[in-house]
């Protein structure tokens, strides 16, 4: 793991964790859980408090992480063999998680991570999307209709452009969705482009201020690009948190 992959989101993660008496961190699509181990060693272990969860579908990686945590004596690390979507309803996880990360979660796994973070009332999320294909598939399915409807369809008439525009559009929609859900969003680079082309880091911090303009623009973009079907699935706005539940 490049050092920037930890350094870039580290300040935001630590700031969110510091605001909790017993902080909880979850890395979804954790792979070998490099990020979780580094954060535990640098932040959780010296403080003697908090929990780290790694969520991963590949059973061999989950087992390897469990064995390494036991070897290192990292007692407050747990690894769950679950998909991101399954983990949202798992009784093995607490009702609230302070920080959610998803680094290079492929295609819709990033959207599942956002849904997970919203359900777990995360104080902060750090997301590095990868291989966004769902929006491109929708654009391709309605390409002929859109070409007759708007000249903007020229932006995705060619297959290469469909893939590139779909990727860019996906992340724009995700940012608007987070802002409409009460998060302040910053978009930056994870590491230098010489290390990875999947380099966009989305940092979201919960403020409780649900931006109406973001919700309006989200739906306007979905309509303009013929993606209305996603409004009821990927980008269905959550119910506002009850009064007094805004995180300090």
User: Tens digits of per-residue pLDDT, 9-65?
Assistant: 677 777 878 888 889 999 999 999 999 999 999 889 999 999 999 999 999 999 999
Q: 151-206, pLDDT tens digit by residue?
A: 888 888 998 998 889 889 999 999 999 999 999 999 988 766 555 556 789 999 99
Q: Torsion over CA of 50, 243, 122 and 214, rounded to 10 degrees? A: -160
Write down the domain spans for the chain: 4-132+167-209
Residues 6+ positions from 121 with CB-CB distance below 8 Å: 95, 96, 97, 206, 241, 245, 247
For residue 103, give both structure tokens: 């680094």
DSSP state of 33: -
Tokens linked to 23: 């902080």
Q: Would you say domain 4-132+167-209 falls under CATH 3.30.530.20?
A: no
Residue 213 DSSP SS3: helix
Burial 45-74, CB ≥16 within 10 A → b, else e: beeeebbbbbbbbeeebbeebbeebeeeeb
Tokens 């002929």 identify what position?
Answer: 144
Predicted confidence band at 239 (pLDDT cuts at 50, 70, 90)?
A: low
Q: Which residues pair with 101 in a beta bridge?
A: 27, 126
For residue 230, give the DSSP letter. G
List the beta bridge partners of residue 80.
55
CB-neighbour burial class of residue 3 (10 A; exposed 0-12, middle 13-18, buried 19+) = exposed
CA dihedral 169, 174, 176, 182 (to 10 degrees): 180
Residues 112-135 have pLDDT tens digits of 999 999 999 999 999 998 877 888
pTM of the prediction? 0.87
pLDDT at 143 exceeding the cut of 90:
no
Number of neighbours of residue 220 by Cβ within 10 angstroms: 11
Percent of the chain with pLDDT over 90: 57
Partners of residue 206 on adjacent β-strands:
183
Alpha helices by DSSP H, listed for the chain, are 4-17, 34-39, 45-47, 59-72, 84-87, 109-119, 134-141, 143-149, 159-180, 212-224
pLDDT of 248? 42
- The string of pLDDT tens digits covering residues 69-81 is 999 999 999 999 9
The pair of structure tokens assigned to 58 is 């590949």
Gap between the Cα atoms of 157 and 147, Å rounded: 8
Between 85 and 2, the more confident residue is: 85
In this structure, the number of other CB atoms found within 10 A of the CB of residue 27 comes to 26
**DSSP label at 31?**
T
């Amino acid at each position: 793991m490049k050092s920037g992959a930890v350094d870039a989101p580290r300040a935001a993660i630590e700031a969110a964790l510091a605001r909790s008496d017993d902080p909880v961190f979850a890395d979804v699509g954790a792979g070998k859980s490099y990020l979780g181990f580094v954060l535990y060693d640098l932040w959780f272990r010296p403080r003697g408090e908090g929990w780290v969860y790694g969520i991963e579908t590949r059973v061999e990686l989950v087992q390897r992480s469990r064995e390494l945590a036991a070897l290192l004596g990292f007692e407050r690390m747990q690894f769950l063999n679950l998909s991101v979507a399954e983990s949202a309803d798992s009784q093995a996880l607490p009702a609230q998680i302070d920080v959610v990360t998803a680094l290079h979660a492929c295609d819709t796994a990033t959207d599942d991570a956002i849904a997970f973070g919203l359900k777990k009332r995360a104080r902060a999320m750090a997301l590095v999307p990868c291989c966004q294909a769902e929006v491109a598939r929708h654009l391709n399915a309605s390409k002929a209709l859109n070409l007759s409807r708007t000249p903007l369809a020229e932006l995705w008439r060619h297959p290469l452009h469909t893939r590139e525009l779909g990727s860019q559009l996906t992340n724009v929609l995700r940012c608007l969705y987070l802002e409409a859900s009460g998060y302040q969003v910053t978009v930056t680079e994870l590491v230098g482009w010489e290390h990875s082309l999947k380099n966009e880091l989305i940092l979201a911090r919960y403020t409780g201020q649900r931006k109406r303009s973001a919700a309006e623009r989200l739906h306007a973009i979905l309509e303009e690009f013929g993606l209305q079907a996603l409004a009821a699935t990927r980008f269905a706005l959550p119910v506002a948190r009850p009064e007094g539940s805004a995180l300090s």
